[in-house]
Amino acid sequence: MSDYKYIRWFNETDKHDIPLVGGKGANLGELVQHKIAVPPGFCVTSDAYKDFILMSNLSDDIAAIIGSIQFEDTTDLQIKSSRIRDLIIDCVVPAVISSEIERAYEEFSDSIGISDPEIAVRSSATAEDLPDASFAGQQDTYLNVFGSSNVVEYVKKCWASLWTARAVYYREQKGFDHFEVSLSAIVQKMVNSEKAGVMFTINPVTHNADEIMINANWGLGESVVSGAVTPDDYTVNKSSLKVTEKHIADKVSMVIRNKSRLGTVEVSVAEFLGYDKISSECLTDEEVLELAKSGIEIEGIYGAPQDIEWAFDIDTKSLYILQARPVTALSEKGYRPAESKPASQKLNVLVKGLGASPGISFGKVVKIKDMSELSKVRHGDILVAAMTNPDMVPAMRMAAAVVTDEGGRTCHAAIVSRELGIPCIVSAKNATQVLIEGQEVTVDATRGIVYEGRVELETKQQAPEMAAAPAPAVAIDDTLSRLAPITGTKIYMNLGEPEMMEKYKNLPFDGIGLMRIEFIFSNMIGAHPMYLVKTGQEDFFIDKLAEGVSTVAQAAFPRPVVVRFSDFRTNEFRGLKGGNEVEPVENNPMIGWRGVARYTSPEYEQGFRLECRALKKARDEFGLTNIYAMLPFVRTTWEVEKAKAIMASEGLVQDSSFKIWIMAEVPSVVFAADEFAQLVDGFSIGSNDLTQLIMGADRDSGILSRMGYFEERAMYVKRAIQILIDATHRHGKTISICGQAPSLYPEFTEFLVDAGMDSISVNPDTVEYTRRLVASTEQKIILNKLRGI
């Protein structure tokens, strides 16, 4: 035994030392005792943490804060747990403890023959990694730390992480005494990882004890553990050591050490390793076999299934086991030893893609190559296509789910599926080749996976800050609206299909922030406006469009309904009857003849006038004065003035009862926001197109989406949004947002509220969720201002 009071080397510990070195430290010691290749290191014992708290006189202060926490109040829990961590960080580690940590680091450096080696400082709670408690991931790990003084500081940060909000809440819920749980810090040599990941010695999905599941990515394992990347996935049969399933992901990012040596940084795989590595397999067959054998050996040591972190060193090409812990709560999950042959369902993954409209559906595959095959789709089928277009909407309405080879989360298939409330997976790459006509499959669009056959999948809701928005039931009682929280930020709803209004009319929304009339064009009219002008069927167009808009406005009355004039691109307009006769072929329709440029051109002005007459009819004949108008894809101030003049000549005069909004989708609107604000009553930010044009990334590109270029939460986009908000408010006008980002990303919604957005328009399936999120965010802002934070 060494002469240290607060230090234990790995070879001095085993599974009986949990009270002293925590679950992680004890497991590492046990592995070393059994000659498993573990990066060398030592443990700063839990006694060091206890004596630090005692010598720093922190116990009473921590106890007082813990006693005042409202544990079900997320804001209160976050603020007060942060206060405890600050108390710890602000204290100096007593010399009697810090000198031992520094001396052990220097002795460790000498033992491996490296001066100031890079190490990982990992937290190891004394109740962590136990079969009946899952503390894993609640405390912090720090990578690529070097230098004796830095080691001391990061050990102290590990101590502080015992008091994160999630760790405090977990202990409270599980009945652990907060002062009975201590923390040891693991100081371990950093592996220069070429590839790394996690391994379960039981299938964590099916709980089949005869299967090992391995996840791998390039670089450090942090990207896999944190869920920041979709890793390569291997399933290995323990008995035969054969790979039974293999799914190679597009691994667009990886984590490496920072160039400054301290800490880590996320980088692009394409830029760091080369584009070919994105879709290349991480592990060789030999490496998979070596991992599987190590997993079986480690499971044998502990006599129970293990969750193992591993890495292959780039210098030695050797495998290192970074840590091992029991897979927790197996009894609750129905775990049985392999020999009992559990009757668990087989999950055979067929294809993977991007989940674009969440939900799970089961049905038979129907593959669509062109419009002539739409009639094949029956109610409950799974529609599979390279990509959808507006002509496919009738078939999509019958489908139980949609899967496409191409596209991003803002492509046509994604938007329409969210509108219809059906699951959708895009960017599946080879779905049309892999999936077989008539094959029964389960589409899990929450995770972006298509399984063979009918499988039962759990869809537990996650914690509020992590949760995907829950979908509403088909029938929604108006009790929901009455019980919904009041928000200062208006919650609007996006809608396109008029008949869907009956389903969603009782949701707690303040108005329709975006009514797309393209659905009416495709489903109720079916012909190009200029074709109808040419054939003398103008009244048919006006009546049908007015009917569709009125259906929504009547159900929403007196809440406002912002109707966006048509925003088909030329390739989409050609799909309507007569479209081929009047629409040009453009190389880039996305930034071509669309929006106000179309309305003010001689080639379409008469079609725009029909749209104006339809809105006027809905307002005048049906008394629906809650109908407002919105001009899409605005580029210049002069075109807005010209469009307004056309509208006025058709009786749509901008005044206190008839508002005209514009879409803010083109950067020119951002740069001239003050000038535009003086022309209209409001802005609605189309975050899809705005992101596309700011980032120079095609919103329909599955490749760019997977690589992270199309990112509505990017700082460049958020800065543009802030400019628009500030300019709008300077002129006393209103501003909303109707892109997909608020429906998908809770943290983006929080940014919008904090930035001063007047209203947020989201998909029907996220209205209730967004209202709760906005209410919580508004309360947090008010509390922070009252507290002077």
**What residues act catalytically?**
412, 738
Amino acid type, 88: I
Where are the strands (E) in 353-465, listed by range? 354-357, 360-368, 382-385, 401-404, 424-426, 440-444, 449-452
- Which residues does residue 313 pair with via DSSP β-bridges, in sequence order? 193
Q: Buried b / exposed e across 506-538, counting CB within 10 Å, b at 16+?
A: bbbbbbbbbbbbbbbbbbbbebbbbbbbeeeeb
Q: Could you tell me whether strands 490-495 and 759-762 are parallel, antiparallel, or unpaired per DSSP bridges?
A: parallel
Is the Cβ–Cβ distance between 419 and 500 less than 8 Å? yes
What percent helix, strand, coil does the chain show, rounded to 5? 40, 20, 40
φ, ψ of residue 579 to 5 degrees: the values are: -65, -35
Is the Cβ–Cβ distance between 691 and 742 less than 8 Å? no
SS3 state at 10: helix
Q: What residues contact residue 257 under an 8 Å CB cut-off, 6+ apart?
A: 118, 143, 144, 190, 220, 263, 264, 265
Please say whether the dihedral angle defined by the alpha carbons of residues 691, 696, 700 and 706, taken in this order, is positive or negative: negative
Distance, in Å, from the CA atom of 409 to the CA atom of 334, rounded to the nearest integer, reads: 36
SS3 state at 594: coil
**C-alpha 698: how far from its chain's center?**
20
Long-range contacts formed by 780-789: CB under 8 A, 24+ apart? 780/75, 781/753, 781/754, 783/75, 787/79, 789/79
DSSP character at residue 565: P
Reading the block at residue 559, the tokens are: 């809440």
DSSP string, 147-161: SHHHHHHHHHHHHHG
Identify which of 667, 567, 557, 570 has the alpha carbon closest to the alpha carbon of residue 622: 557
Cα separation values, 100 from 49, 95, 149, 505, Å: 13, 8, 11, 67
* Nearest-5° Cα angle at 630, 624 to 634: 170
Reading the block at residue 282, the tokens are: 């991480």
Is the Cβ–Cβ distance between 142 and 10 less than 8 Å? no
Is the Cβ–Cβ distance between 552 and 501 less than 8 Å? yes
Distance, in Å, from the CA atom of 425 to the CA atom of 403, rounded to the nearest integer, reads: 5
Longest dimension (CA), the chain: 99
